[in-house]
Amino acid sequence: MRSTHVALAFALALPALATTARADLANGEQIVKNVCASCHGFPPQGGPNFAPNNPSLIQFALNTIPAMSFLRATITPSDVNDIAAYLGVLFGTTTPPPPPPPPDSYQGLWLKFPFESESGWGINFSHQGTTLFATWFTYDTDGSGMWLVMSNGVETAPRHYAGDLYRTTAPGSFSSQPFVPISQSNYTLVGHLDVSFTDPDSGIMNYTVNGVTATKNLARYTYVTNPPKCTLGGDPGATPNYQDLWWVPNAVESGWGVNLTHQGDIIFATWFTYGTGGKGLWIVGSNMSKTDNGVYSGVLQTTTGPNPFSNTVPFDPLKVTRTTVGDATFTFSDANNGTFRYTVNGITQTKNITRLVFAAGPVTVCK
């Protein structure tokens, strides 16, 4: 017993050496609570209380105190470092490191870069967990608006997503009462999309559509001086940001939706829906201005443009035309629910809308 006290006294005289910044606090906590506490109690006393941030003291005790010899084969030097770091936090001698920031999200409206080079089409990404939902607003062979969807872009490598592209039709148009949800028979496979992000605001899309393969440089579209930053998960903050993919709750009108890009007091809305005969139709509200708390209003337009799917003829943005077809108002009751009131070609309707949740894992938070 006397030798134990001598060894402990000598160990306590050792200088405290700071643990490394890479210490695993969770591992240190697990060992202290499940191993050390069996003899020392919790919070641990009789030795551990002298060892915050001092892995040398802990290692010396393991090597010299007979009562601790049974741990020598199981407690590694890395564990010792973790224990010392956790004791530093437990006994208040160090401040725990801040949690790592949430990973970046790519949610938002993206355009071909440079923006002026192919102005007139774009692609919206909704990002949840390891899944990217893309709605691509482009043009058909006759110049009419056409949209394609990648509803299950899978993360195949860090910052890289890939999936099949589909074109859909509907049993009716946007104004059908009721709107009949689309089924699997309404989907037509038209190609494949591959998106690689080089950073939170730039990337490259590779695609094959109807046998035409091409590559486009992309950049996140920003239209205010200080746009919000989007992350996967995190605290949404006190002021709601509505940037997301929205639809009618409970899939009662599955098949259409509206992407909202929210920066400052402006919402840029791209609505993918259906026109006469159930053909895909997209409508854009590029300047939905804030008129009250949670209320945004502006005009709606349709566009026509050149066929973009050609290996020989480049896309000409000068051939894009815009036609005002109505107006819309988004009114949000909270951060996740609202109404979408629109008038298009003389038809006025109001829809309840909510954010679409389509994947496991954290959803995007923009603020």
DSSP H stretches of helix in 108-165: none
Contact 257, 247 (CB under 8 A): yes
Q: Are residues 114 and 69 in the same domain?
A: no
Q: State the average pLDDT over residues 189-196.
A: 98
CA 247 – CA 137 distance, rounded (Å): 17
Q: State the average pLDDT over residues 106-111.
A: 98
DSSP state of 267: E
Q: Are residues 54 and 203 in the same domain?
A: no
Q: What is the pLDDT of residues 49-84, one digit of tens each?
A: 888 888 988 888 888 888 888 998 899 999 999 998
pLDDT band at 91 (very low <50, low <70, confident <90, very high): confident
Question: What pLDDT is attached to residue 330?
Answer: 98
Q: How far apart are the first and last CA of the chain?
A: 61
102 in any annotated domain: no
349 in any annotated domain: yes
DSSP H stretches of helix in the chain: 2-12, 25-31, 37-40, 55-64, 77-90
103 in any annotated domain: no
CA 352 – CA 334 distance, rounded (Å): 12
Domain residue limits at 33: 2-90
Beta strand segments in the chain, E: 108-112, 122-128, 131-139, 145-157, 160-168, 187-199, 202-209, 212-220, 230-232, 244-247, 257-263, 266-274, 280-292, 295-304, 321-334, 337-344, 347-355, 364-366
Which residues, in sequence order, are CB contacts of 199 under 8 Å at separation 6+? none
338 in any annotated domain: yes
pLDDT band at 21 (very low <50, low <70, confident <90, very high): low
100 in any annotated domain: no
315 in any annotated domain: yes
Q: Are residues 161 and 308 in the same domain?
A: yes
10 in any annotated domain: yes
